[in-house]
């Protein structure tokens, strides 16, 4: 269950992906229940899965309804909104949704890419090099992983404030320039699984350390990098607290903050217009990119979670 | 035609053209200001995506500060953005916000007192309603020019009242016992679920209205001494809360209220889901546009002494300290809130309504001169809507507002939380208001310490 | 370095230190540090430095727009006397106490079932994980609308089953369980985690146990649980820390612009109150003190959890 530390594994230059990249050891679980015995579990799981799927169905259904019927909880809208997808069309002009979408997209992509490579640099250093203070510094990384976010929330805001950037989008992605403890830890496992012989060969070919990192380590650790990218994408796309602190003014908003605001704008009790059906459409549109990413990168998410647990 | 007539005609035309040219020149020169405005006017909180009244006033004011450029991004007032601007010393020239902010920021020293602006631009402050000015005056100085004046009257669903045997006289907040009886007559329920609210006291938002009706002054005139736990305030909260508890209890009451299609044609008045409730006057406009045939009327809210009262709130324009274009800001404020601007845009709206067949329900501006001219029933307006305008306009005379205070947000939070705790049955009114009083006093103390 | 002809002498501590220090002379070391520069900068400024500054601020009355003055322990004393701070702490504890066992139990239940299923297991895993991908704002917003007392979807469903329908949004007795339910909707994440852990339990152990005549329950209790206990412990710590700091969903559901006025005291969680104090009222000093108090509390709780774990967590290859 623990990670495979493979420093200095001599000999055998087999170009395999280190086993730790494969995820849980499926070969250990060989027992298969006969289908009949599985049936009760399948039924139970199916029953529970309704709880997880139905809210999505409700959401999509509500997004296709008219204002008067949006909360009638019927699964099939009756009547459908004008032109069925009316709400989806309106939301782009009723609120600066396109702007928010673009903001979310560029901030999230930037943040994910930056943290992937910054963490890779750091993880590689801890995995490959031997140097004084290595264990101490890695201990600092580990400590950061356990740090409650709330402790640094205010001072970090004040830092940005003193630099004059506390009302901009920069604080949302700039900290990712410095890597993130969780991903550093994850990627270090991968880098440690790369046989040193690969690197020695590259060094002898005249590579300096950075080229070696870039040409050898990074391609092999691609699964870990993709996991990092996808996880950070999801986290940044969904983040509400940081935009709440730093973004002021609709032109800066990301989707979560915009949606939060719309809950007030459309609420009758706050003087809004009650057009929650547009909000439902907005929720669906906000979730769609993540669902698409999940559809394509599902195995990476699963892998990423299981690697998380191997810390023990 | 004979040549003589042609000559006279040509002469006449030339004369008319000349007259027009001269008049135009004269008008143009008379509209040239003694001060010329320049640079940019940065406004926060009032964009260009408002309703017709907002857009038209914006255009008028924009002309008044020409040739200065106006930069007014869309989006309401954002307090955090404003705080950031203050701290980084890059304040907008003008903020448009709720009047409740004025006292707090004036106390922080973040606003420019408007005495000099009022003097230099000759703003006639007597045209603004007393209650509105009270909310924007702190420590003897005016820090905001008020705009809009919410008038709170009882909106009554006459169909519900009639079919329940409730008369207008019974819907009298001066007589709490009778009012409660009326509420219970109109209240309907099916099991533990509420199916019609008899009388909704609108808690926690309208607590100041109830407190005043019962004779309590929850905040001193100078905004420095809260008095949230006076016997009258406690009595007000006890009574208003008892109305809700008697009509299904808070949970059922609120859950039912949340189902109303407030802005739609199937709103709670059209569907007879409520008997009466105090509400800001803009809702009459909503009713007139979405369900003009509802059976509705307006009754003033009365205090225990029998006199009508109105708890009023609204917006204001203020100039932050350090604003670079205070001159243009001052002119903007003056133009936005003077009677002629209001009358112009009101007439435009009246004409648009007439064309669309919508009934006129008034526009309440905080400028008493403008109000007197605007808020009259239009000719041919059904009696129902005419009487509503008249009632609301008459109620304005009896308005009060919460004075400007150095910690208004926390003061408001204190009594709001207290009322919520009582509604949810966690504390008695006495306990809740005692706690609120402690919090309010502490907040004001902290705000005035610096 | 030393030549072969040097006199042999037992290596002492001085040698080790010298060897350590000589590491600094290697080029490799400086390359390593070069790679670490981005992380180090971030750590010094945004982590360590921020923490220290936060601690310093907690002893002042800093409010950004006014000059700051030291107030000693006043902020901490104020936390002890502020009814809302204490209330929010109590709320957070209670909510976490409901949430953590609920989430862990449910995740374990689903994971155990999924482990036995070979058909459709990919489908189920996807379905259970979907809520984890949903934006927390959307979850909070949907909660507002689906749990809206008797008119919301959930209560209508309970009504069909003739179960009394709680007022999830306003009844103080039901607000916390409702919030816990909302958070547990994302149980898929931990389910997948536990599933991987369960699948890694060596088959031989189960076979040995069933040869000894152990029932399914005993196999679970005596084989599965101990073997996955490190993962259980890991999630126990992480979920507790998460529960005490949860923000997004609750802030959206109970403190969005439309209902901030009617929010119950029962939904006020610690980090929400902290956020309000810091960013609505600019009481930075007080909020920093709150943050450090929470940090201390979390450290104590985690230390306690680690102590407890020594009795229950079994690491492969370790002596118990």
Taking the CA of residue B329 and the nearest CA in chain C, the distance in Å comes to: 23
Name the residue with tokens 């920021």. B105
| Predicted local confidence at residue B35, as pLDDT | 66
Complete domains list, chain A, with CATH:
95-265 (1.10.3720.10)
Domain boundaries in chain B?
A: 40-150+314-353, 152-311+407-449
Instruction: Measure the CA–CA gap between C299 and C305, rounded to whole angstroms.
Output: 10
Closest residue to A45, CB basis, from C113, C193, C275 = C113
Nearest to C40 by CA among A235, A177, A208: A177
Interface ipTM above 0.90? no
> Which residues of A fall within a CB distance of 8 Å from C40?
137
Nearest to C133 by CA among A294, A168, A296, B378: A294
Q: Do residues B437 and B96 make contact, with C-beta atoms less than 8 angstroms apart? A: no
| Predicted local confidence at residue A41, as pLDDT | 87
Task: Please indicate whether, in this complex, the C-beta atoms of B78 and A248 are within 8 angstroms of each other.
Answer: yes
- Write out residues 350-369 of B within 8 Å (CB-CB) of C: none
Task: Please indicate whether, in this complex, the C-beta atoms of C278 and A261 are within 8 angstroms of each other.
Answer: no
| Predicted local confidence at residue A278, as pLDDT | 87
Q: Are strands B296-300 and B274-280 parallel, antiparallel or unpaired?
A: unpaired
Q: Do residues C38 and A177 make contact, with C-beta atoms less than 8 angstroms apart? A: yes
> Which residues of A fall within a CB distance of 8 Å from C64?
158, 161
Q: Is A269 on the interface with C (CB under 8 A)?
A: yes
Residues with pLDDT less than 70, chain A: 1-33, 268-273, 308-312
Task: Please indicate whether, in this complex, the C-beta atoms of C265 and B417 are within 8 angstroms of each other.
Answer: yes
Q: Is B220 on the interface with C (CB under 8 A)?
A: no
Task: Please indicate whether, in this complex, the C-beta atoms of B78 and A166 are within 8 angstroms of each other.
Answer: no
Q: Is A168 on the interface with B (CB under 8 A)?
A: no
Residue to substitute from B85, B251, B438, interface C, most C β-carbons within 10 A: B251
Tokens of C273: 């109150």
- Transcribe B113-141 into DSSP letters: -SHHHHHHTT--GGGB-HHHHHHHEETTE
Q: Which residue of A has its CA nearest to C42?
A: A178
> Which residues of C fall within a CB distance of 8 Å from B406?
none
Judged on CB neighbours under 10 Å (0-12, 13-18, 19+), A281 is buried
Q: Do residues C139 and C182 make contact, with C-beta atoms less than 8 angstroms apart? A: yes
Q: Which helix (H) or strand (E) holds B167?
A: none
Q: Is A250 on the interface with C (CB under 8 A)?
A: no
Closest residue to B84, CB basis, from A68, A167, A251 = A167
State whether the Cα torsion A211-A217-A222-A228 is positive or negative: negative
In CATH, the architecture of C78-312 is Orthogonal Bundle (1.10)
**C-alpha triplet A265, A271, A272: angle, nearest 5°:** 35
> Which residues of B fall within a CB distance of 8 Å from A250?
74-75
Q: Is A136 on the interface with C (CB under 8 A)?
A: no
Task: Please indicate whether, in this complex, the C-beta atoms of C145 and A276 are within 8 angstroms of each other.
Answer: yes
Q: For the whole model, what pTM was predicted?
A: 0.83
- Write out residues 226-285 of B within 8 Å (CB-CB) of C: 250-252, 254-255, 258-259
- Write out residues 213-252 of A within 8 Å (CB-CB) of B: 248-251
| SS3 of residue B365 by DSSP | coil
Task: Please indicate whether, in this complex, the C-beta atoms of B74 and A250 are within 8 angstroms of each other.
Answer: yes
| SS3 of residue B156 by DSSP | strand
State whether the Cα torsion B369-B370-B375-B379 is positive or negative: positive
Q: What is the 3-state secondary structure (H, E, C) of chain A?
A: CCCCCCCCCCCCCCCCCCHHHHCCCHHHCCCCCCHHHHHHHHHHHHHHHHHHHHHHHHHHHHHCECHHHCCCCCCCCCCECCCCCHHHHHHHHHCCHHHHHHHHHHHHHHHHHHHHHHHHHHHHHHHHCCCCCHHHHHHHHHHHHHCCCHHHHHHHHHHHHHCCCCCCCHHHHHHHHHCCHHHHHHHHHHHHCCCHHHHHHHHHCCCCHHHHHHHHHHHHCHHHHHHHHHHHHHHHHHCCHHHHHHCCCHHHCCHHHHHHHHHHHCCHHHCCCCCHHHHHHHHHHHHHHHHHHHHHHHHHHHHHHHHHHCCC
Phi then psi for residue B317, to 5 deg, are -105, 135
Name the residue with tokens 């889901």. B273
Q: Which helix (H) or strand (E) holds B16?
A: helix B3-30
For the B40-150+314-353 domain, the top CATH level (class) is alpha beta
Task: Please indicate whether, in this complex, the C-beta atoms of A248 and B87 are within 8 angstroms of each other.
Answer: no
What letter does residue B322 receive in the DSSP assignment? T
| SS3 of residue B43 by DSSP | strand
Q: Domain spanning B152-311+407-449: which superfamily?
A: Periplasmic binding protein-like II (3.40.190.10)
Q: Do residues B37 and B332 make contact, with C-beta atoms less than 8 angstroms apart? A: no
Q: Is A151 on the interface with C (CB under 8 A)?
A: yes
Cβ-Cβ contacts under 8 Å between A and B: the total is 35
Task: Please indicate whether, in this complex, the C-beta atoms of A141 and C53 are within 8 angstroms of each other.
Answer: no
| Predicted local confidence at residue C16, as pLDDT | 74
Instruction: Measure the CA–CA gap between C257 and C248, rounded to whole angstroms.
Output: 14
Residue to substitute from C63, C198, C247, C257, interface A, most A β-carbons within 10 A: C257
Q: Are strands B296-300 and B145-147 parallel, antiparallel or unpaired?
A: unpaired
Task: Please indicate whether, in this complex, the C-beta atoms of C151 and B259 are within 8 angstroms of each other.
Answer: yes
Q: Which residue of C has its CA nearest to A147?
A: C295
Core vs surface per residue A298-309: b (16+ CB within 10 A) or e: bebbbbbbbbbb
| Predicted local confidence at residue A310, as pLDDT | 52
Residue to substitute from B75, B258, B408, interface C, most C β-carbons within 10 A: B258
For chain C, helix, strand, coil in percent to 5 are: 75, 0, 25
Task: Please indicate whether, in this complex, the C-beta atoms of C38 and A179 are within 8 angstroms of each other.
Answer: yes
Taking the CA of residue C282 and the nearest CA in chain B, the distance in Å comes to: 9
Residues with pLDDT less than 50, chain C: 1-3, 318-320
Q: Are strands B399-400 and B310-311 parallel, antiparallel or unpaired?
A: parallel
Residues with pLDDT less than 70, chain B: 1-35, 450
Task: Please indicate whether, in this complex, the C-beta atoms of C202 and A28 are within 8 angstroms of each other.
Answer: yes
- Write out residues 78-107 of A within 8 Å (CB-CB) of C: none
Domain boundaries in chain C?
A: 14-75, 78-312
Nearest to A253 by CA among C22, B80, C165, B294: B80
Q: What is the largest CA-CA distance in chain C?
A: 93
Which strand ranges, in their side-by-side order, compose the sheet holding B40-44?
B69-71, B40-44, B94-98, B315-318, B145-147
| SS3 of residue C60 by DSSP | strand
> Which residues of B fall within a CB distance of 8 Å from C279?
80
Chain-centre distance of CA C254, in angstroms?
21
Closest residue to B263, CB basis, from A166, A167, A268 = A268
Q: Do residues B435 and B418 make contact, with C-beta atoms less than 8 angstroms apart? A: yes
């Amino acid at each position: 269950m623990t990670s495979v530390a493979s420093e200095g594994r001599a000999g055998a230059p087999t170009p395999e992906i280190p086993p730790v990249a494969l995820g849980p050891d499926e070969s250990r679980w060989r027992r298969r229940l006969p289908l009949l015995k599985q049936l009760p579990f399948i039924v139970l799981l199916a029953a529970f899965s309704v709880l997880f799927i139905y809210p999505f169905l409700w959401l999509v259904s509500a997004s296709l309804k008219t204002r008067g019927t949006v909360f009638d909880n019927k699964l099939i809208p009756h009547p459908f909104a004008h032109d069925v997808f009316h709400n989806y069309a309106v939301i782009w002009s009723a609120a600066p949704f396109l702007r928010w979408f673009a903001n979310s997209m560029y901030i999230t992509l930037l943040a994910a890419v930056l943290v992937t490579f910054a963490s890779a640099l750091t993880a590689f250093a801890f995995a490959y090099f031997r140097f004084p203070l290595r264990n101490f510094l890695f201990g600092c990384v580990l400590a950061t992983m356990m740090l409650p976010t709330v402790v640094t929330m205010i001072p970090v805001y004040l830092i940005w404030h003193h630099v004059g950037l506390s009302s901009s989008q920069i604080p949302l992605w700039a900290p990712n320039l410095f890597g993130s403890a969780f991903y550093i830890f994850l990627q270090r496992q991968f880098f440690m699984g790369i046989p040193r012989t690969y690197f020695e060969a590259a060094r002898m070919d005249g590579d300096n350390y950075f080229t070696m990192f870039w040409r050898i380590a990074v391609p092999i650790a691609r699964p870990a990098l993709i996991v990092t990218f996808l996880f950070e994408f999801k986290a940044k796309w969904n983040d509400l607290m940081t935009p709440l602190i730093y973004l002021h003014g609709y032109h800066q908003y990301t989707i979560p903050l915009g949606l939060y605001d719309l809950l007030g704008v459309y609420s009758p009790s706050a003087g809004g217009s009650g057009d929650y059906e547009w909000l439902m459409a907005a929720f669906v549109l906000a979730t769609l990119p993540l669902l698409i990413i999940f559809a394509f990168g599902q195995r990476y998410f699963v892998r990423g979670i299981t690697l998380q647990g191997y810390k023990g | 035609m004979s040549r003589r007539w042609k000559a006279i005609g040509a002469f006449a035309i030339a004369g008319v053209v000349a007259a027009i040219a001269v008049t135009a020149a004269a008008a143009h020169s008379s509209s040239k200001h003694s001060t010329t405005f320049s640079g940019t006017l940065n406004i926060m909180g009032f964009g260009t995506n408002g309703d017709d009244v907002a857009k038209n006033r914006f255009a008028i004011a924009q002309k008044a500060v020409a040739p200065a450029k106006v930069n007014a991004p869309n989006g309401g007032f954002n307090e955090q953005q404003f705080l950031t601007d203050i701290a980084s010393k890059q304040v907008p020239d003008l903020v448009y916000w709720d009047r409740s902010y004025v006292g707090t920021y004036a106390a922080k020293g973040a606003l420019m007192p408007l005495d000099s602006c009022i003097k230099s631009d000759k703003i006639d402050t007597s045209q603004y309603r007393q209650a509105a000015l009270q909310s924007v005056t702190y420590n003897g100085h005016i820090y905001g020019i008020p705009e809009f004046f919410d008038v709170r009257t009882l909106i009554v669903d006459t169909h519900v009242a009639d079919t329940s045997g409730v008369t207008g006289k019974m819907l009298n907040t001066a007589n709490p016992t009778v009012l409660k009886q009326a509420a219970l007559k109109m209240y309907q329920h099916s099991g533990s679920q509420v199916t019609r609210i008899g009388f909704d006291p609108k808690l926690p938002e309208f607590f100041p209205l109830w407190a005043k009706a019962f004779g309590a002054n929850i905040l001193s005139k100078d905004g420095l001494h809260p008095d949230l736990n006076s016997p009258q305030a406690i009595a007000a909260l006890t009574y208003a809360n008892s109305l809700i508890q008697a009509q299904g209890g808070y949970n059922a009451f609120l859950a039912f209220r949340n189902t109303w299609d407030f802005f739609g044609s199937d709103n709670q008045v059209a569907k007879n889901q409520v008997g009466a409730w105090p509400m800001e006057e803009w809702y009459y406009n909503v009713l007139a546009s979405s369900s003009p045939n509802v059976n509705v009327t307006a009754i003033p809210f009365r205090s225990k002494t029998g006199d009508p009262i109105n708890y009023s709130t609204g917006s204001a324009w203020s100039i932050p300290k350090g604003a670079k274009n205070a001159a243009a800001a001052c002119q903007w404020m003056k133009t936005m809130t003077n009677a002629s601007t209001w009358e112009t845009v009101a007439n435009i709206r009246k004409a648009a309504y007439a064309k669309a067949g919508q009934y006129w329900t008034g526009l309440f501006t905080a400028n008493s001169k403008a109000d007197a001219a605007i808020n009259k029933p239009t000719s041919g307006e059904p009696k129902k809507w005419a009487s509503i305008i008249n009632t609301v306009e008459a109620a304005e005379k009896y308005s009060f507002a919460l004075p400007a205070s150095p910690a208004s947000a926390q003061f408001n939070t204190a009594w709001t939380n207290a009322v919520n705790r009582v509604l949810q049955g966690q504390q008695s009114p006495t306990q809740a208001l005692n706690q609120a009083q402690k919090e309010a006093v502490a907040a004001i103390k902290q705000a005035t310490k610096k | 370095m030393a030549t072969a002809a040097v006199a042999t002498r037992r290596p002492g501590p001085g040698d080790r230190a010298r060897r350590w220090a000589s590491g600094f002379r290697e080029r490799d070391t400086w390359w390593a540090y070069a790679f670490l520069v981005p992380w180090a900068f971030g750590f010094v400024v945004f982590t360590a430095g921020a923490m220290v500054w936060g601690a310093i601020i907690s002893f002042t009355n800093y409010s950004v727009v006014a000059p700051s003055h030291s107030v000693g322990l006043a902020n901490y004393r104020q936390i002890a006397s502020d009814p809302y701070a204490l209330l929010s702490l109590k709320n957070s504890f209670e909510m976490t106490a409901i949430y953590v066992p609920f989430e862990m139990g449910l995740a374990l239940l689903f994971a155990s079932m999924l482990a036995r299923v070979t058909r459709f297991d990919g489908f189920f895993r996807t379905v259970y994980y979907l809520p984890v991908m949903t934006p927390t704002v959307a979850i909070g917003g949907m909660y507002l609308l689906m749990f809206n007392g008797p008119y919301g979807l959930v209560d209508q469903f309970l009504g069909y089953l003739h179960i009394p329908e709680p007022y999830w949004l306003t009844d103080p007795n039901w607000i916390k369980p409702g919030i816990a339910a909302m958070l547990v909707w994302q149980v898929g994440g931990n389910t997948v985690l536990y599933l991987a852990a369960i699948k890694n339990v060596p088959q031989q152990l189960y076979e040995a146990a069933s040869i000894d005549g152990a029932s399914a329950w005993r196999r679970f209790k005596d084989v599965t649980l101990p073997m996955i206990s490190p993962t259980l412990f890991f999630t126990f710590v992480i979920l507790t820390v998460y529960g005490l700091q949860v923000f997004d969903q609750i802030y959206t559901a109970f403190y969005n612009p439309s209902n901030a006025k009617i929010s119950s005291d029962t939904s006020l969680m610690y980090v929400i109150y902290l956020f309000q104090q810091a960013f609505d009222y600019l009481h930075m000093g007080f909020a920093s003190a709150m943050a450090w108090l929470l940090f201390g509390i979390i450290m104590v709780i985690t230390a306690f959890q680690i102590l407890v774990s020594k009795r229950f967590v079994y690491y492969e290859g370790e002596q118990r």
